[in-house]
Amino acid sequence: MNFLEKKERRIFMKEMKKVFVIIGFIGLWIFLCHHMDLVIAKDPDYPTKPINYYIAFGVGGTTDLTSRAFGDATSKYIGQPFVHINRPGAGGTLTAMAVLSGKPDGYSLGICSPSNVFIAPFSDESPYKDLSGFTFIANFGNYVYPLMVRTDAPWKTWKEFIEWVRKNPRAAKIAITGARSVASQGFVLWQVEQREQVEFTYVPMKSSAEILSATLGGHVTMYGSTVDPSTVPYLQEGKLRILSYLGAHKTPGYENVPSLPELYGPEVAVPNLLGVFGPKGLPDYVLKKLDDAFAKAVKDPDFVSVMNRMYTPIVYMDRAQMNKYIEELLPKVGKVINVIKAEEAKGKK
Amino acid sequence: MDVFQNLISGFSLILQPDNLFFCFIGVFIGTLIGVLPGIGPVGAMSLLLPATYKVSPLASVIMLAGIYYGAQYGGSTTSILVNIPGESSTVVTCLDGYQMARQGRAGPALGIAAFGSFIAGTLALIGLMLVAPPLASIALRFGPPEYFSLMCLGLTILIYLASGSIIRAISMAAFGVMIGCIGQDPETGSSRFVFGIPDLLDGIGLAPFVMGLFGISEVFINIEQSLKGSKILETKIKGLLPNWQDWKDSIKPILRGSVLGFFLGILPGGGAVISSFASYAIEKKASKHPEKFGKGAIEGVAGPEAANNAASEGAFVPLLTLGIPPNVVMALLLGALMIHGVTPGPLLIPKHPEIFWGVIASMYLGNIMLLVLNLPLIGIWVQVLKVPYKVLFPLILLFCLIGAYSINNSTFDVAIMMVFGVVGYLIRKYKYEGAPMVLAFVLGPMLENSLRQSLLLSDGSFLIFFTRPISAGGMIVTFLMLISCIIPAFRKKREEIPMEETT
Amino acid sequence: MRTHHRVGSIFWLVIGIYVGISAYRLGIGVFSQPGPGFIFFLMALLLIILSAIDLGITFIGKSKVGKEKTDEPLWLGVRWYKVLIVLVGISIYNYAFNFLGFLLSTFLLMIFLFKAVEPTKWWVSVFASVITILLSFGIFKLWLKVPFPTGILGF
């Protein structure tokens, strides 16, 4: 086989040499810049450029739109735009990773939710096992999880439903977003199974839209996801009925339906969270500005109207409250998840 | 007739200056986004979403919708000119469109793509107007078992996609399914073939995969040869528009593609990608010269292009009538409507008829605008083919790199694109094909999901696929199609074996 | 050509075996409840069977002496090393993208691509690179608002 001809080889070597020279210059420049860094004093003015804002879920969804609204509202008060970057995936852990690896200079923030804060640290696949790498800054909302069935179904209350499930084990097909062991809905419903000594069948699906059509079409028994704006017309028209809620928050107009925490106790609830976090080590002057801007953004009329339109309750927690909340709730959630995992491991064998 | 009255009122709305303006902006941006590989309508729509807050709901939807179906028009441009799919739904257009360009027939290819899209768009609109609500309720009857049989049917299409050895095509498909299923298992949450890389937990993105497999590999293949004075165009340019013969060949594919695309677009998860593949396969089967496919058959451009446009409009059916978005783009549109205080759903048409009919009227107008926009551009696009390749290919590479990055602002997607660029390059050198891999990549995970969901619903019984009418129907058709291909294929294989030996 | 045919088949055969074993370890489950590895195992089986057949064909088919046109060379006489160079170039680009920022890394890449594959004069390369980065910056960053990283040099 004719390898490189002499002339070709010469050209090749020349090109490679040029590449190395260029790389060498860049290396030198970088080296100099790095050392410049130590000399110049830290810039205490924040923010002076746009802030990267990683959104943990896909474009157009409830989380995305409400997070964007919050980001836009905050930019009004902090003086720099929030650059919305969707980094969906792996239950929000891709956003968490982006935040973890960002510089703690306040220009790299992300959205935190039940899945990347409470569920991820206990999951085998997760890249982080504790939350020490994060700074939790503010919470702005909470999710509502109505458990809905078609109105032509025989059960009018949660109790009736449970009785039916007891007599028909595994006949209830509850559609949730994600696998039981990784989804926050699974976490709650498993506890119900334990307390009531019943067995559900979980049908994981990719999105609430899929779950909604499956429920309406009668393919699954129950809708077990967040309140999607699409679901509201069906509720209002009487095609769907809410049997209970996976958390403390209820859909406006349907408050008379008991939620699972009301029925079983406060631990049987989704560890609700929808807020902003950043990497650890954020300097005080950054945090102060953010705290301030977030507190104002939560009351901003544009933000409020978006939250209302998306049927997402506004729940504000400042840094102290948020940290306390997470610190208290995390170990409780961890305990339950570890029990679930142990059970599944036993079941596998 | 009620429909016409409503339509006329819709037109009167759309002809107002600001609605017209937003319609134009939408389709214009859509075309551009479609041409640029990687960045898709979703990206552009989400960027423009805040700009729509201060505008009326109708104008916002008109603009966002325009971006979506406009992108289907523009996506075929790079597919035809440089074998890089501008949109995932235009992968199939690369197969014959690019060959046509090399033969000097880029003009007719681009032209028939534009016209085909226009005709399909108009026909799909008629469907949307007349039969949307009843169709939507049929769509609801598609549960996991129905999807499973549909996917099985879809995979038999594979057999038609292959222009070379069937064994190799199916091997590519098997691999495609594997690649498509990489990531977190939806049922158990365990990670499959993730190799410890968190970015892989959500699987490999369709856009970087396709851009690498087709686009980057094409550049690699080309730079192997000396580029002195070489251009994409191998011969002279033969005409800028489709000629009479082209029209005669294309009209049936366009009509078939429109119908196929419209119905497939209604189904959640169906969509433009699958309908373009299905249309290609159908045209190949229906053609009297199937061996011309893959070498520049205009039917292979006309059909799929019509199908992907019809599908993008079909996607509006479940959104506007049920309030359920069948794909990510529609979900965004749903969000936009919600923010404006309009709740789509079964009550949209009674409560906000101006939205429904205004959007439909805008789509008629939008399609006309797109045709007018795209046709003159053909003359310009064709000049690209004359640019010396040694100047062209860095630009192509750059646009692919930026395009892949801009999907999720992640260099990981770029890396994926490069990996599959190498894969595509090696595959082509060793005489395997990429198209079956792409189809399998899309269908495979859906097949698996629907299988497992169905088994969960039936508590493990396989009967569920045969006891439900739609699903049973689908399985029977699949079976018949398989039989009808395998028997002649067996006979062909006996002849093919000695033939392959000598290639 | 037969060798190339065989190399291809053997490659996919190996892939099939690897995936099959890994899939088995993931857990195939039973027919009524497929596990995570199920679909991979199925596809791996398919791949193995097909590659084996493909490989077998290269041994069985009658070799028609003289009919063999010149063994179309896959790696002979084509500048595959150019592909490698470009691949290395864009890999470095991707790696350095966040670090150097969009403008600088793209500029370097463009010059590299223009020069490395086909001899192009220096001034042409620099000129074309500058135009390219201005255009792409305009389209993608300013107009489409894609957030490009600004490298450590601040731009």
Same structural domain for residues A134 and A174? Answer: no
Peptide bond into B469 cis (omega under 30): no
Is residue A61 assigned to a domain? yes
Q: Per-residue pLDDT averaged across C91-101, rounded? A: 83
A263 located within any domain: yes
pTM for this prediction? 0.84
In a domain, A160, yes or no: yes
Domain count, chain A: 2
Q: Is C33 helix (H, G, I), strand (E, B) or coil?
A: strand
Indicate the DSSP class of residue B52. G
Average pLDDT over residues B375-399: 82
Asked whether the beta carbons of B403 and B409 are under 8 A apart, the reply is no
C40 CA: distance to closest CA in chain B (Å): 6
**Residue B64 host element (H or E):** helix B57-82
Number of domains comprising chain B: 1
Q: Which positions ≥6 away from C11 have C-beta within 8 Å?
A: none
Of residues A90, A205, A220, nearest to B201 (C-beta) = A90
Residue B407, domain member (yes or no):
yes
**Could you report the per-residue pLDDT of C55-65, keeping only the tens digit for each?**
888 777 655 44
Cα B329 from Cα B325, distance rounded (Å): 8
Which string of b and e fits B214-248 if b means at least 16 CB within 10 Å?
A: bbbbbbbbbbbeebeebbbbeeebeebbbeeebbe
Domain boundaries, chain C: 2-60, 80-143
Assess C119–A contact: CB distance below 8 Å, yes or no. Answer: yes
Cβ of C69 within 8 Å of Cβ of B398? The answer is: no
Check residue C68 and give its pLDDT.
44
How many other C-beta atoms lie within 10 A of the C-beta of residue B289?
A: 11
Question: Where is average pLDDT lowest: A57-71, B249-263, C8-22?
Answer: A57-71
Q: Are B395 and B188 in contact (CB under 8 A)?
A: no
> Going by DSSP bridges, is the β-strand pair A146-150/A222-224 parallel, antiparallel, or unpaired?
antiparallel
Same domain as A154, residue A123: no
Q: Which residues of chain A have pLDDT under 70?
A: 1-5, 29-44, 89-90, 180-182, 347-349
Predicted local confidence at residue B461, as pLDDT = 80
Tell if the CB–CB gap between C36 and B448 is shorter than 8 Å. Answer: no
Percent of chain A with pLDDT over 90: 18
Q: Tell whether A209 and A314 lie within a shared domain.
A: no
Of A5, C5, C128, nearest to B226 by C-alpha is A5
**Residue A279 shares a structural domain with residue A261:** no
* Interface touch A26/C116, C-beta < 8 Å: no
Residue C67 predicted with pLDDT over 50: no
* A331 beta partners: none
Q: Is A179 on the interface with C (CB under 8 A)?
A: no
- The Cα B165–Cα A72 span in angstroms is 55
- CB proximity C96 to B under 8 Å: no
Identify the pLDDT of residue C70. 43
Residue B284 within a domain: yes
Nearest-by-Cβ selection for A2 from C27, C76, C115:
C76
Mean pLDDT, chain C, rounded, equals 78
- Report the pLDDT value the prediction gives residue C155, as an integer from 0 to 100: 56
Question: Tens digit of pLDDT for each residue in B123-149?
Answer: 998 888 888 878 878 888 888 888 888
Looking at the domain assignment, is residue B1 inside a domain? Answer: no
Q: How many CB atoms lie within 10 A of CB A183?
A: 23
Contact C53 B167 (CB under 8 A): yes
* Contact call for residues B117 and B258 (beta carbons, < 8 A): no
| Pairing relationship of beta strands B183-184 and B191-192 according to DSSP bridges | antiparallel
For the record, the structure tokens of B235 come out as: 């011969």
The string of DSSP codes covering B348-362 is HHHH-HHHHHHHHHH
Radius of gyration of chain C (CA): 24
**Which chain A residues are Cβ-neighbours of B202 within 8 angstroms?**
88-90, 94
Mean pLDDT of B405-422: 87
Report the distance separating Cα A38 and Cα B328, nearest Å.
Answer: 46
Q: Which residue has the higher pLDDT, B503 or A314?
A: A314
> For residue B321, what pLDDT is reported?
85
Q: Which pLDDT belongs to residue A138? A: 92
Closest of B439, B438, B440, B464 to residue B451, by C-alpha: B464
Section B41-64 average pLDDT: 83
How far apart CA B321 and CA A216 sit, in angstroms, is 14
Q: In this predicted structure, which of B287-291, B403-407, B459-463, C147-151 has the lowest mean pLDDT?
A: C147-151
Cβ–Cβ below 8 Å for B187 and A230: no
Q: For testing the chain A interface, which of B141, B456, B461 should be mutated: the one with the most A CBs within 10 Å?
A: B456
Of A208, A234, A226, A61, the residue nearest A142 (C-alpha): A226
Distance (Å, whole) CA B459 – CA B360: 43
Measured between alpha carbons, how far is residue A37 from residues A27, A34, A45, A48, C145 in Å? 15, 5, 16, 17, 29
Q: How far apart (Å, rounded) are the C-alpha atoms in residues A83 and B217? A: 33
* Residue of B45, B187, B198 lying closest to A94 (CB–CB): B198
Burial class (CB in 10 A: 0-12, 13-18, 19+), A164: middle
C146, exposed or middle or buried, with CB in 10 Å at 0-12, 13-18, 19+? Answer: buried
A25 to chain C, any CB pair closer than 8 A? The answer is no
* Pairwise CA distance, residues A120 & A122, whole Å: 5
The verdict on residue B56 lying in a domain is: yes
Tokens matching residue C74: 């896959």
Q: Which other chains touch chain B, taking contact as 3+ CB pairs less than 8 Å apart? A: A, C
Q: Which helix (H) or strand (E) is B128 found in, with range?
A: helix B106-140
**What is the distance of C-alpha A41 from the center of its chain?**
37
Q: Cβ separation of B334 and A97 shorter than 8 Å?
A: no
End-to-end CA distance of chain A: 56
Look at residue C65 in the predicted model and tell me its pLDDT: 43
Q: Could A348 and C27 be called an inter-chain contact, meaning their C-beta atoms sit closer than 8 Å?
A: yes
User: Do residues A231 and A244 share a domain?
Assistant: yes
Distance CA A177, CA A328 (A): 26
The single-letter DSSP state of residue C62 is P
Shared-domain flag, residues A150 and A188 = yes
- Tell me which of A269, A290, A312 is where a domain ends: A269
Residues of C in contact with B422 (CB under 8 A): 87
DSSP-derived 3-state class of residue A51? strand
Question: Using CA of residue C93, residue C96, residue C101, residue C104, what is the dihedral sign?
Answer: negative
Question: Is residue C30 within a helix (H) or strand (E), and if so which, with residue range?
Answer: strand C29-30
Rounded Cα distance between B315 and C16, Å, is: 37
Same domain, A174 and A238: yes
Q: Confidence band (pLDDT; 50, 70, 90) for B499?
A: very low
The amino acid at residue B278 is A
Q: Measured between alpha carbons, how far is B141 from B134 in angstroms, rounded to an integer?
A: 11
**Residue B199 domain boundaries:** 7-502
List chain B residues with CB under 8 Å of A180. 189
Find out whether B421 and B216 touch, Cβ atoms under 8 Å. Answer: yes
Closest CA to B79 of B229, B232, B201, B283: B232
Specify the pLDDT at position B297: 86
Residues A90-107, buried b or exposed e (16+ Cβ, 10 A)?
bbbbbbbbbbbebeebbb
How many Cβ pairs closer than 8 A exist between chain A and C? Answer: 31
Quick one: A156 and A128 in the same domain?
A: no
Is the separation of the CB atoms in A75 and A318 below 8 Å? Answer: no
Q: Could you tell me if A252 and A306 lie in one domain?
A: no
Domain that holds residue A175: 146-269
Name the pLDDT band for C44 (thresholds 50, 70, 90): very high
Are B398 and C132 an interchain contact pair (Cβ–Cβ within 8 Å)?
A: yes
Evaluate whether residue B2 is within a structural domain: no
Q: Which residue of A has its CA nearest to C26?
A: A348
Q: List all chains that touch chain A, counting a touch as 3 or more CB pairs closer than 8 Å.
A: B, C
| Selected residues 48-67 of chain C with any CB under 8 Å from a CB in chain B | 50-51, 53-54, 57-58, 60-64, 67
Digit-coded pLDDT (tens) for B159-210: 777 777 888 889 999 999 999 999 888 777 778 888 877 778 778 888 899 9
Mean pLDDT value across residues C137-146: 72
